[in-house]
Structure 1
Amino acid sequence: MPVHKSDALKKYFGYDSFRPQQAEIIDNVMADKDCLVLMPTGGGKSICFQIPAILRPGLTVVISPLIALMKDQVEALKGNGIPAAFLNSTLSATEADQIMWQAKLGELKLLYIAPERLFSGNTFDFLRSWNVGLFAIDESHCISSWGHDFRPEYRQLNALKKHFPNIPIIALTATADRVTRRDILKQLGIEHAETFVASFDRPNLNLTVSPGRKRIEQIRRFISKHENKAGIIYCLSRKGTETVATSLKNAGFKAEYYHAGMGAEQRSKVQEQFLKDDIQIIVATIAFGMGIDKSNVRWIIHYNLPSNVESFYQEIGRAGRDGSPADTVLFYSYMDIITRQDMINQTEQPEIQKEVLHAKLNRMKQYAEADICRRRILLSYFNEAVDQDCGNCDVCRNPRTRFDATIIAQKALSGIARTDQKVAMGMLIDILRGSRNRNILQHGYDRLPTFGVGADLRAEEWAEYIIQLLNSGVIDIAYDEAHAFKLNPVSRQVLKGERSVELVKFIPLSERKAKEELIPQEKPKQEIVRDALFERLRLLRKQMADAMAVPPYVIFSDATLSEMAQKRPVSEAQMKTVSGIGAEKYRRYGEVFINEILSFDKVNPPAKTRLAKGMTYTETLELFTEGYSVKVIAEKRGLSTVTILSHLIKLKDDGHEINLKALIDDQSYQTITKAAQEMNIRKDDALKPLFELLNEQFDYGQIRLALVIMEEGYH
């Protein structure tokens, strides 16, 4: 096992460097400290506990509510050469017993387990005999009643710290605002643990909101522009998924529906088909996708408005997990709001919980109706400050009229500050407009210096501007304090006049024109190159995945295949420079893909002007393997013998079996190396002095060959 985190990252995962904050989080865990980690979907949360699991003694227990994710991650870990297993309801009693014995005998580094399973039977008691070194709690927002996906069974996890006080806990989530974060730490009994908040920015995701008219027609046009690219369409109802999927299938697309009303076997079959690239499109309720680690989803469409920003961000985050560009489209109509409100009102939740759900739905509505950069809205929701518009959303591509609203912002912020940050939207607007209603008079707010300073604006204007301030991160909101507004560092800079504020000019709803149907046009850089070689490699990956009964992305991601197709590696060393290919991945698949590249280039030689760097070496290697001498190879290729010798030296460095000593006679070797030792010249030094000392008897290729053999000890 590697002893350093960077070595483990390269060996097992094939990456040369960590993403932001990953290294610090790993160091924190290695120092036996608890922590809470917030990273967006696809941001690299798993690495934060998988690397420590490899480096630390004992077993890492990963608690996750997502059966699909367990299976996915265990397959990926095994594919990278890391012993891992899962315990959940899909296993037979015999299979579960076998895995528990593996855990007891120390044969596993990671064990994924559902919270229900953890506290059923004597599983919790077995933990004491498993030499557990770390607890990782994935989807930790489920423990908080303020989170968007609260699960009562998660509350039992507070028992971990009580029974295992000396074992560190790393809690991880992709979606939690400030209130939810505090609650997670409190519920787990790790109130003083350090919280790491990575950037929630996913610049590769293109954000678009379109009017909810003629949705099927818009979707068909959209998918036609994304031919052979995997995507998910989220619908509010089960019937909706079936209707949309049927319509798309009738139009000739490879689509299936997925919802909780289907039988378990049927759901599993559809999911497997999607993971294995047998179908292109899944039309699903939110029951689909939780924890699906499919890296090559290229687009997400929301047929209906999600219930909250957390769910929306988590769902669009399932696209572009490989870091390559992906498109997201949200259809929006006011009927979606009415439907969602009715659903909340009909639940049996306590009234306080219903209020939270309504407030979160309102933030989602604000996102859909926004006239400012959509990415800024999403990032500010998770308390991340952003100074610039993203340029990769529909609002940025079609900017609205903006104006200097610093004075307006200062009036609102002053109202919040002078009420001790205890007022919500309605009360704040009443204070600013100078309303003398009972609540205002009862609290004495009519005596505040801020009272009436905003009487020149209508209530709907103030509501619009306050929402923009909230969405821009100039103010925060505390759902657990009756939705009171809170100041933050940006607020204080604005109040002091150290920072200006721009807002979008208010336009009454009656005057707003219907939004155009927007189809994403601009693309971020680093687009996946889908050329003929990429498609050939993709087909090979699919064939291998089917034979192994695993999803194709478990072998290589689309991003890795794209880089492979562009670099065209033809040796082990070259292949390992491709991002995502570590030692185990190369051992399993490297030579097969190299052979496919060589086979492709025999039939489809690249043009000289764009000849991949590795291919000129490949031609030399093939001729040398066929038994041709250096001189003949040079003649056949129209190159000098010096160039051919440099190719062979490079190929030897890359791990190919080449006997360099056989390319030079002993007398020449002895003459060159003796002179080099007298002049203290090495292979990387300027060779001209040695060339002249030897009376130009040997060319530069022979000289460098002799020095390489001498210094590297080749025989």
Structure 2
Amino acid sequence: MAAPSVEDVLIHVLPNFGIDSIKTEQKVILECLVSKKNCVAVLPTGFGKSLPFQLYLPVVREICENSSDWKVLVCCPLVALMQDQVEKLSHIANLSAAYKGSSSQIDDNIKDGLIDIIYASPETLVGDPEWRNCLKKLNIKVIVIDEFHTIAIWGQGEGGRKEAFRKWFGNIGELRSLFPEATVLALSATCTVNIRQKVMKILQLTDDTKEINMSPNKSNIKLVSSKIKNEIEMGMTWLVDALDEKKGDFPRTIIYCSSINDTSKLYKYITTELPSCTKYVEMFHSETPDSNKNMIIHALKDEGSAIRIILSTSALGMGFDVKMCNSVILFGPPNNLVDMLQEIGRVGRDGNPSVAIILYNGYHQQKLSPEVKAILRTKECRRKELMSNFLRNSDLHEMESKECGKHSCCDLCASRCSCNSCTLLPLEKLFLAEHVVEEGHDDSFSDSDTESYNLSEYDYFEDLDLGLLEIQDD
């Protein structure tokens, strides 16, 4: 008797995950895994990239004999992301998931082969000899490299001038030698063409690897950018005034900062000015106590939570789903396009109109890559400038014809819109109601900025926080 097809099995597997169908791209990925074909998938934030490998074991157990001890190994960059996925999978019957470092008992369960989907950091999977030896004893059938763009961004130094931020990311390709028979699935929401080519080489993926690419453009997120004063107290006065006015009605907003220092200063400024509003504001970074992190993560999943503003570094990052959040502020944009797109994509995952406001001061702009500067500097369309780094020319032209020029595209397009029915999202209204362009400056980007500021206050490189202290590898 012939084995059932993936489609046949999905009919009764999907209800266990609370769904009745999957997207075409998700099905293609799942079929690649079942047929042992390597796959690289670049799919937008909120698309559901993780679902195919989570479905893999329940499906394959009904198709393949002797598959009861098969395991999926997930290489994941941040603990917060591991926690989020493991929690979601905890409700799935007959499927166990856990991440290394959550407890000593869980670690023992992983070593004993009691966990189906094993999450761990590159530092564990590649850099820890003890764990490498333990995992080699397990029947690993699929290796998932989640957020694979971090291999190039965090695992590579800058032209030999700077050490890699997390060097083991650059050695993830060694997993292929540890598990030579395992199928590889590499996932990302934001990846330039150059990064994809570099990562495929590091992972030793050949030309017959299945590639699935969808545009990372999220047309429901309007892009707005403005220069503000260097001093936080001057540049962010509008935020304090708006929170004081709206309180619990302030639109739920993530504010990403480029360093722990900026995060802490902005939190202190808001809570000092508005002590009665502290319940509406929280701070999340790598040095935040675990108890606070867990409280914040659960609150952000709760639509009824009192939290209106979450100040964060990228430690609250990739793959994390914040409920009912359609506003994000980048207080000092990241210095590379991938991180910028990741932070913008944290909002609007429900498909509703959303806004990303990119704020920068004289100090911030000195640390940016030429590509990021171009987005802030352009006089045409910020969406087009951003997406030109991620899309083929044909896809870029198609996007231009459908989106660019509309008031919902970006602030520059909105300024030229003549539809007479333009609308602003709540956070935009609050920002524009009180924001005053710096005296002596317009909102244009200037490389020859001569403002004075104290560089020692920022400790930029020392404070740069990309989740390093989130690693719980003892």
TM-score when normalising by structure 1 = 0.49
> Which residue matches 2:223?
207
RMSD over equivalenced CA pairs, Å:
3.2
Q: CA deviation at 1:326?
A: 2.4
Within a 5 Å distance, the mapping from 1:691-710 to structure 2 comes to none
Contact 1:135/1:167 (<8 A) preserved: yes
Counterpart check, 1:386 vs 2:402: no
Uncovered stretches (5+) of structure 2, i.e. residues with no partner: 61-66, 157-163, 419-439, 445-474
Percentage of identical aligned residues: 28
Distance 2:153 2:332 in 1: 25
What is residue 424 of structure 1 aligned with on the other side?
Answer: none
Partner of 2:429: none
Is 1:257 aligned with 2:269?
A: no
Question: Is 1:304 matched up with 2:326?
Answer: no
Q: Structure 1 stretch 119-128 or stretch 181-190: which is displaced more?
A: 119-128
- Pick from 101, 112, 124 the counterpart of residue 119 of structure 2: 112
Moved more, 2-11 or 328-337: 2-11
Shift in Å at residue 318 of structure 1? 1.1
Residue in 2 aligned with 1:248? 270
Q: Distance in 1 between matches of 2:396 and 2:337?
A: 17
Which residue of the partner structure matches residue 373 of structure 2?
365
Partner of residue 63 from structure 1, selected from 63, 71, 75: 75
- Are the structure 2 counterparts of residues 55 and 41 from structure 1 closer, same or farther at C-alpha, using a change threshold of 3 Å? same
Name whichever of 239-248 and 306-315 sits farther off: 239-248
Q: CA 1:383–1:171 in 2, change beyond 3 Å: closer, same or farther?
A: same
Structure 1 position 372, deviation (Å): 2.4
Partner AA of 2:258 in structure 1: L
State the number of aligned residues. Answer: 381
Which residue of structure 2 lines up, in the alignment, with residue 136 of structure 1? 144
Correspondent of 2:188 among 155, 163, 173: 173
Q: Distance in 2 between matches of 1:16 and 1:397?
A: 39
Does the Cα contact within 8 Å between 1:86 and 1:112 map onto a contact in 2? Answer: yes
The answer to whether the Cα contact below 8 Å between 2:38 and 2:205 also exists between their aligned partners in 1 is yes
- Within 5 Å, give how 1:29-48 maps onto structure 2: 29-48=33-52
Q: Which has the higher helix share?
A: 1
Q: What whole-Å deviation, never above 9, does each CA across 1:165-202 have from its counterpart, x for those lacking one? A: 22210011222211111111111111322221112121
Instruction: Look up the match of 1:286.
Output: 314
Tell whether the 8 Å contact from 1:235 to 1:304 is kept in structure 2 after alignment: yes
* Deviation, structure 1 residue 146: 8.5
Q: How many Å separate the matches in 1 of 2:44 and 2:6?
A: 28
Equivalent residue for 1:628?
A: none
3-state SS of 1:23 partner: helix
Distance 1:151 1:48, change over 3 A: farther
Compute the displacement of 1:264 (Å).
4.9
Cα distance 1:367–1:82, how it changes in 2: closer, same or farther (>3 A)? farther
1:124 counterpart = 2:132: yes
Q: Which residue of the other structure, out of 4, 14, 28, is the alignment partner of 1:24?
A: 28
Change (3 A) 1:167 1:322: same
Q: In 2, distance between residues paired with 1:147 and 1:38?
A: 19
Quick one: distance in 1 between partners of 2:286 and 2:31? Answer: 41
Query: 2:179 is matched by which residue type in structure 1?
Result: F
* 1:198 to 2:214 alignment: yes
1:281 CA drift (Å): 1.6
CA deviations 1:25-65 (Å, max 9, x no partner) are 22222221111111232222112322223312422111112
CA contact (8 A) 2:80 2:316 kept: no
Q: CA 1:373–1:14 in structure 2 vs 1: closer, same or farther (change >3 Å)?
A: farther
Q: How does 1:335-350 map to 2 (within 5 A)?
A: 335-338=363-366, 340=367
How many Å apart are 1:121 and its aligned residue? 4.6
Contact kept, 8 Å, 2:100 with 2:106, in 1: the verdict is no
When residues 263 and 11 of structure 1 are mapped into structure 2, their CA distance, relative to the original with a 3 A threshold, is: closer
Residue 202 and residue 67 in structure 1: after superposition, are their counterparts in 2 closer, same or farther (change >3 A)? same
Paired amino acid for 1:256: E
Report which of the two structures shows the higher radius of gyration computed on alpha carbons.
1
Q: How does 1:126-525 map to 2 (within 5 A)?
A: 126-144=134-152, 151-192=166-207, 193-213=209-229, 214-220=234-240, 227=249, 229-249=251-271, 250-251=273-274, 252-253=276-277, 254-276=280-302, 277-338=305-366, 340=367, 361-384=369-392, 385-387=395-397, 388=401, 389-390=403-404, 391=406, 392=408, 393-399=410-416, 514-515=442-443
Given the superposition, is the C-alpha separation of residues 16 and 273 from structure 1 closer, same or farther in structure 2, using an over 3 Å criterion? closer
CA distance in 2, matches of 1:71, 1:333: 34
Residue 307 of structure 2 aligns to a residue in which SS? Answer: coil
Cα distance, 1:246–1:82 mapped onto 2, change above 3 Å? farther
**Kept in 2: contact 1:87–1:117 (CA 8 A):** no
Distance in 2, matches of 1:322 and 1:82, equals: 29
Q: Secondary structure at the match of 2:310?
A: strand
Q: 2:108 aligns with which of 97, 101, 119?
A: 97
Judge conservation of contact 1:144–1:187 (CA < 8 Å) in 2. Answer: no
- What secondary structure sits across from 2:41 in the alignment? strand
Mapped partners of 2:263, 2:165: distance in 1: 25
Quick one: distance in 2 between partners of 1:71 and 1:182? Answer: 30
Cα distance change of structure 1 residues 65 and 239 upon mapping to structure 2, 3 Å threshold: closer
| SS of the residue 1:398 aligns to | helix
Is the 2:147–2:318 Cα contact (8 Å) retained in structure 1?
no
- Preserved CA contact (<8 Å) 2:154 2:166: no
Question: CA shift at 1:135, angstroms?
Answer: 1.0
CA contact (8 A) 1:155 1:187 kept: yes
Q: Please, which moves more after superposition, 143-152 or 73-82?
A: 143-152
Q: Is the 8 A contact 2:39 2:210 kept in 1?
A: yes
Cα shift readout 1:492-538 (whole Å, capped 9, x = no counterpart): xxxxxxxxxxxxxxxxxxxx98349xxxxxxxxxxxxxxxxxxxxxx
What are the superposed Cα offsets for residues 407-437 of structure 1, whole Å, 9 maximum, x if unpaired? xxxxxxxxxxxxxxxxxxxxxxxxxxxxxxx
Q: Distance in 2 between matches of 1:86 and 1:135?
A: 15
- Name the SS for the 2:44 alignment partner: coil
Shift of 1:324: 2.9
2:83 counterpart letter in structure 1? K
Distance of 2:309 and 2:13 partners within structure 1: 33
Q: CA deviation at 1:293?
A: 2.9
> Which of 53, 57, 60 is residue 57 of structure 2 equivalent to?
53
Q: Is the counterpart of residue 79 in structure 1 residue 96 in structure 2?
A: no
**Secondary structure of 1:122's match?**
helix
- In structure 1, the residue matched to 2:422 is none
Distance 2:210 2:124 in 1: 28
Query: 2: CA distance between counterparts of 1:395 and 1:9?
Result: 47
